[in-house]
Amino acid sequence: MKMSKMLTLLFIAVTTVCGVHAQTVDDIVNKHIAAMGGADKLKDLQSMYTEGVMEVRGMEIPIKLWVVNDKAIRMEFEVMGSNNIQVVTRDKGWMQMAMQGNEPKEMDSAMVRTMQPRLDLAGELYNYKARGRKITLEGKETTDGAEAYKLKVLNPNGAELTIFVDAATYYIDKIKTRMNVQGQDMELTTVLSDYKKTPNGFVYPSSTTQDPIGTKISVSKVDINQPVDDSLFQMPKK
């Protein structure tokens, strides 16, 4: 796998009872929102800062992630003592990678489009109609003994993903995202687990794994609604 494709996938990875016919999409979405802390908690999300470790190819890579809701996302990760940065905003993206010469450069537009839905801190399901998303219930699937509702989500920009909502907890167990990376169609599968709650009641998955690249991210710190300096998202001058 080419290094540039690997970096794209890593960023995407960083930036989820009754019978199926007895449930509607809104039933499932509303129960999911309640499980995540409630609509008021999600509505009040303005920013999130996360620290953790990403395991990939036998390496443990420290990561930091800043997200300002509906505005910008910045990820920093350290490899062999060198800091690397990737940023996506509502209309563009840039990166500064030590392994690629450390010169800041514009991000590929396809990668920007793929990452932009992750600017929404409340997630794909919250307030989905007002955001122009279409969701259909595709049935149920059983994974590792747990039943999950299968929701197909279509974003206004054409991006499509499938979200699996646990039928017992209403947490998101898995997300499948179809994307085009450097001209190649592929599917990224993200499995979310070990949900925890912040002091203010916001629920988040502290462990995620991604395929096909085989990464695992373990979150050690989450801060909600702390001030974030706009300069973090500005591309350095060459």
d(CA 139, CA 149): 6
Whether 94 contacts 104, CB under 8 Å: yes
Alpha helix segments (H runs only) across the chain: 3-13, 25-35, 39-43, 109-115
The per-residue pLDDT for range 94-149, each reduced to its tens digit, is: 999 877 777 889 988 877 877 787 888 998 999 999 989 999 999 999 877 889 99
The per-residue pLDDT for range 191-221, each reduced to its tens digit, is: 999 999 988 888 999 999 988 878 899 999 9
DSSP helix, strand, coil percent of the chain (3-state; round to 5):
20, 45, 35
Q: How confident is the model at residue 11 (pLDDT cuts 50, 70, 90)?
A: low
The pLDDT of residue 225:
93
Q: Is the confidence at residue 16, as pLDDT, over 50? A: no
User: Which candidate, 127, 126, 180, places its Cα nearest to that of 158?
Assistant: 180
pTM over 0.85: no
Q: How confident is the model at residue 10 (pLDDT cuts 50, 70, 90)?
A: low
With pLDDT > 90 as the criterion, what percentage of the chain qualifies? 53
CA-based end-to-end distance of the chain? 29
Higher pLDDT, 159 or 16: 159
For residue 163, how many C-alpha atoms fall within 13 Å in the half-sphere facing its CB?
Answer: 22
Domain boundaries, the chain: 25-233
The per-residue pLDDT for range 18-46, each reduced to its tens digit, is: 333 457 999 999 999 999 999 998 999 99
d(CA 191, CA 229): 31
User: Which candidate, 187, 193, 145, 154, places its Cα nearest to that of 172?
Assistant: 193
CATH topology of domain 25-233: outer membrane lipoprotein receptor (LolB), chain A (2.50.20)
For residue 47, how many C-alpha atoms fall within 13 Å in the half-sphere facing its CB?
Answer: 14
